[in-house]
Each structure stands twice: as C-alpha cells, then as structure tokens.
Amino acid sequence: MKNIIIYLWGIYPVIFIRKVMNTFRSIVWLTGQFYDRNKKIKKDSAQWETEEYYKSDSYSAIQNEREKRFVNYIVGNTEKQDRILDICCNQGRFLFELKRRGYSSLFGFDIMGAAINKLKRSPEYLPDIIKVEHAQAQNYFNNKKDLSYDWAITYTATIELINPEFDIFSELGRTVKKGMFLAISENGHAYPRFYRLLHKMNGFEICSVTPLIDHENQILSRLIHSVKRNTDG
C-alpha cells in the first residue's frame, strides 16, 4: 500500500493538483481554520533541525559540475559588491566560493544548527564578509528590512521543502532588490509549485531557465534566473 501511495503521489496529474494547492495556498486557508500555522511549519521542518536524518557534511563543498555551473552563472551575472543571500545555505559551500571569487557582502541561514556551527568554525569564515544565522525561514525574514539584499540564491531541495504555510516568495519579493538565481526541482520534493508563476506574482521577471543535467543527461533541476521589476529604491 505504501508503494502505491508513493507512486500515485508522483504521477503528473497528482503533481499538478499539488502544485495548484501549494502555489495558490488554498489548503493554507482551509487548514488554517483548524490549527496553529506556526506549529505546522515547525513540525514540518523538524527533520532538518539536526543531523539525525541528513548529514550536513553532504553539503560541505561543491562536488559536481552542476554546482560549479551554478556558481559560475551567478558570478557572471552579478557584481562583487552585491549583497547576496543564500537561502538554506547549510555549511555555506556557495558562500565560501563566492568569497573566494571576491564577494564581500554575503548572507545565509539554515535550520540545521550543526551546519551553521561548522560553517562558523571554518578557517575561511569571516563574520564581516559572511553573515549567517541558525533560523527557520519564517523567523529569518521576520526582522529583515525591505530590499535588504540585491540577489537571492538557492540550490535545490531548499525552497521545495518549505511548507507553503509560509509564503517565502512574498518575503523574497519584499527583501530582494535586483533578482534571484534559484536552482529548483519544479516537480519534485515535498511541495511542488508553479515556481515560474510565483516569480511573476511577486514582482520578478524571468530572464532564463537553464536545465541542470546529471552525467546520464537527466534533468535534475532548473536554474531560474529572474530580475526584479521596478527596482527603484
């Protein structure tokens, strides 16, 4: 029975329905009538708080050509003085690489405390250049000012795992000034959404969508590059 449920959960008609619910957050309104949303978000993210299920060392360094292309694309489309936020940065492999490339205003957060602690113990960590917090997404954005960052970046299995009870794209629209580079698995993980539509709904125009392909030529995710509309201010 479990295998049947997993199969049905992953077929496209079901994925489409899940995307509708997660994008337009209709389920958020309905379920919000019956329980505390903040408790639901915390429960949903609990498996990422410790290393019991997922080891942070798996994300300690750039490991393949897809990740290298991701960083190279960011470097090729930003300025060294830009303020860049890494959403769910884990041990900061992309932040450290951007620092090596000459960037000096880098930010990140992650719910996994062990990952943030390891990041801060790295000999490459300089708190004047890399500012990170151990936090859930909704808590991190709660006290951030409008247009705090020039760009937001993330590399797959991050935003796709954030419960739609928290409207992260609305917060990105509020706090990001120039645009985003999001490597997204559009049909995968816990909460598939119409990510390209969410960009447009929250003030971003998509410049390009680039498949990130593995060694077997399978598309694992897509790099969505967007810019902010009306960036005055």
For residues 134 and 110, is the Cβ–Cβ distance under 8 A? Answer: yes
* Per-residue pLDDT at 4: 53
Global confidence as pTM = 0.90
Tokens for 149?
Answer: 């960052």
What domains are defined for the chain? 2-228 (3.40.50.150)
For residues 134 and 111, is the Cβ–Cβ distance under 8 A? Answer: yes
* Per-residue pLDDT at 7: 45
Is 213 exposed, middle or buried (CB count within 10 Å of its CB: 0-12, 13-18, 19+)?
middle
Average pLDDT for the chain: 89
* Per-residue pLDDT at 27: 62
* Per-residue pLDDT at 51: 81
Instruction: Say how far apart CA 87 and CA 75 lie, in whole Å.
Output: 17
Q: Which parts of the chain sit beneath pLDDT 50?
A: 7, 233
Range list of H helices, the chain = 2-10, 12-24, 26-31, 37-45, 65-76, 93-100, 113-121, 137-142, 168-175, 195-201
List, in sequence order, every residue forming a beta bridge with 54; answer none if it has no partner: none
* Per-residue pLDDT at 15: 93
* Per-residue pLDDT at 179: 98
Q: Nearest 5°: CA angle at 62, between 119 and 123?
A: 30
* Per-residue pLDDT at 215: 72
* Per-residue pLDDT at 192: 94
Q: What is the pLDDT of residues 16-71, one digit of tens each?
A: 988 998 998 766 656 555 556 667 677 777 778 888 878 888 888 998 999 999 99
